[in-house]
A = this chain, B = another copy of it.
Amino acid sequence: MAGRGETKAKILDAAEQLFAEHGFKETSLRTITGKAGVNLASVNYHFGDKKSLVRAVLSRYLEAFMPALGEQLQALLSEPHCTMEQVFACAKQPVLALDKYRPHGAATFMQLIGRGYSDVQGHLRWFITTRYEHVLSLFNQAVRKANPDLTSEAVFWHLHFTLGAAIFTMASSEALRDIAENDFGRSLDSEAIVDRLIPYLAAGMNAKPRQASQDNIVAFAAE
């Protein structure tokens, strides 16, 4: 039923869509091969096992995204000064460029990254952070350059909060887009979401630590 040399690509295409929409663990090889119109056994023939397929799907995107992000950061670091918004804006064009690479590439990529982090699969986290350590380091440098007053601890925590806000938004971008279009009656593309996200992340990253004052209005509830 399948064509000649295109089976591998068909599997990747079907898998990336299903993974993005339902998660890795929740998508079975049978569902993938069914959607791709290829034989069940071909997954193992072409990729070895499911884990490798997951990595292959992510790699296609990361190899397109990460080097582009690295370039942007490099360029920004060679400037005399930079703002925090500029740092985050470095990711904008590399993300949006994925739409040319694959249909709905930007949204798909964002969802896949979200899945990769929230799915318990520790191996993905490891794979991403070690494979692209260099780019992450550039990002770190740029953040420090944009705001040298931040302590190491603040950078550490704020980076993780940032990752959460970005990834969570990415993972649920489809649902959010639907709700937003419904509520505000205007159509939203990936660029609009990214443009909302950038100032939010920049402001958060620059946040000043809180002076320990009184926290709550009401006294502790009875216990």
Which A residues are within 8 Å of any B CB, using their own CB?
A: 22-23, 25-26, 67-68, 71-72, 75-76, 79, 85-86, 89-90, 92-94, 97, 100-101, 114, 117-120, 152-154, 156-158, 160-169, 171-172, 176, 179-180, 183-184, 193, 195-210, 212, 215-218, 220-221, 223
Q: Across the interface, do A90 and B165 meet the contact criterion of CB distance under 8 Å?
A: no
Q: Which residue, A114, A206, A207, has most C-beta atoms of chain B within 10 A?
A: A207
**A interface majority secondary structure:** helix
Q: Does B92 contact A215, Cβ atoms closer than 8 Å?
A: yes
B215 in contact with A89 (CB, 8 Å): yes
User: Which residues from B are CB-within-8-Å of A118?
Assistant: 114, 118-119, 168, 171
User: What 12 additional pairs, Cβ within 8 angstroms, besides A72-B216, A161-B196, A203-B208?
Assistant: A23-B119, A25-B26, A71-B221, A75-B218, A79-B217, A118-B168, A152-B184, A157-B193, A158-B200, A162-B165, A164-B168, A198-B210
The 4 closest A-B pairs by CB, nearest first: A164-B168, A118-B118, A203-B207, A204-B204
Chain B residue nearest to A79 (CB atoms) is B217
Q: Is the CB of A26 within 8 A of B183?
A: no
By the criterion CB–CB under 8 Å, are A199 and B209 in contact?
A: yes
Count this chain's copies in the assembly.
Answer: 2
Looking at A101, A179, A197, the one whose CB has the most chain B CB atoms below 10 A away is A197
How far is the CB of A116 from the nearest CB of chain B, in Å? 11
> A101 contacts which chain B residues (CB < 8 A)?
223
Q: Is B75 a contact partner of A217 (Cβ separation < 8 A)?
A: yes
Instruction: Please report the C-alpha to C-alpha distance between residue A160 and residue B200 in the assembled complex, in whole angstroms.
Output: 11
> Nearest chain B CB to A117's CB is how many angstroms away?
8
Cβ–Cβ contact B196 & A202, under 8 A = no
- Considering only CB atoms, which chain B residue lies closest to A186 in the complex? B153
Cα distance A217–B93 in the bound complex, in angstroms: 10
Contacts of A100 in B (CB 8 A): 223
**Nearest residue in B to A100 (C-beta to C-beta)?**
B223
| Residues of B close to A201: CB separation below 8 A | 161, 204
**A217: contacting residue among B76, B85, B193, CB under 8 A:** B76
Are B164 and A166 in contact, with the CB atoms below 8 A?
yes
Evaluate contact between B221 and A97: CB separation under 8 angstroms.
yes
